[in-house]
Amino acid sequence: MPQTNKASAPVSVDIPEFEGRYVDLGGHTVGFEICKADVDPAEFFRGLPDDRCQCPHWGVVLTGSISFRLPATPRPTRPVTPTTHRPGTRRS
């Protein structure tokens, strides 16, 4: 079974507000992400259908919180809460 961890995943994105480390494991992209500051990443998704991320997401928030804007309503995720988000979700 493929595996990874944060230390072995290469840094793909490193900007003042965000760091992302990503590895492909059997057709699934595994990411370790750190939001260093409050930011609305909507700009990254402009030009995609409905200006939204088109990938499903599964994850766990370890500290802090994150909100995803679904087509209908915002959905906050708190620490240590398993989360899934279907394609077409905006993270805020």
Q: What is the pLDDT of residues 38-87, one digit of tens each?
A: 878 888 889 998 888 888 888 888 888 777 777 766 555 666 666 666 66
Domain span at 23: 1-38
Position 67 scores a pLDDT of 76
pTM: 0.66
Same domain membership, residue 24 and residue 48: no
In this predicted structure, the answer to whether residue 26 has a pLDDT above a threshold of 60 is yes
Are 61 and 26 found together in one domain?
A: no
- Residue 24's nearest CA partner among 4, 45, 54 is 4
28 with 69, same domain: the answer is no
Both 66 and 85 in a single domain? yes
Same domain for 91 and 75:
yes
pLDDT digit string (tens) for 39-53?
788 888 899 988 888
Which pair of tokens denotes residue 63?
Answer: 């500290």
The total of structural domains in the chain comes to 2
89 shares a domain with 49? yes
Residue 85 amino acid letter: H
Query: Are 65 and 86 found together in one domain?
Result: yes
pLDDT at position 2: 84
Three-state DSSP class for 47? coil
Q: Do 78 and 65 fall within a single domain?
A: yes
